Amino acid sequence: FSSVLCFCSLIPCLCGSAPCLLCRCCPSGNNSTVTRLIYALFLLVGVCVACVMLIPGMEEQLNKIPGFCENEKGVVPCSILVGYKAVYRLCFGLAMFYLLLSFPLVLFFYSLIV
């Protein structure tokens, strides 16, 4: 739960000039540089998670976690969380995330040209 709160404290860096932990670590960098670093970190984390999903025997390790992969109502089976299909789903989600981020950028540059 604390990692979610830590992640949520970085969100203002993506949206405005609000100070954040990364901005304080490198005060000479502007907000756009810090934003690019955070988006690169998102991509790196996505690639690392995709690599972990492909490790042989990961499904057995996930089954050992109590209450994580049981076939109860509302809980996803572990076979969906590992393998090539899971990596394809994750990479598709990352691609859509960056595609959605590109639309405001294109509209911003278009408004500067016109």
Residue 58 and residue 42 share a domain:
no
Is it the case that residue 16 has pLDDT exceeding 90?
Answer: no
Determine the structural domain holding residue 31 and report its residue range: 1-48
Q: How many distinct structural domains can be found in the chain?
A: 2
Same domain, 64 and 93: yes
Q: Are residues 62 and 27 in the same domain?
A: no
SS3 letters for 18-87? CCCHHHHHCCCCCHHHHHHHHHHHHHHHHHHHHHHHCCCCHHHHHHCCCCCCCCCCCCCCHHHCCCHHHH
pLDDT tens digits, 59-76: 888 888 877 776 655 467
The answer to whether residues 5 and 61 belong to one domain is no
Same domain, 41 and 9: yes
Check pLDDT > 60 for residue 23: no
pLDDT in tens, 81-112: 889 999 999 999 999 999 998 888 888 777 77
Checking if the pLDDT of 33 tops 90, the result is no
109 and 63 together in one domain: yes
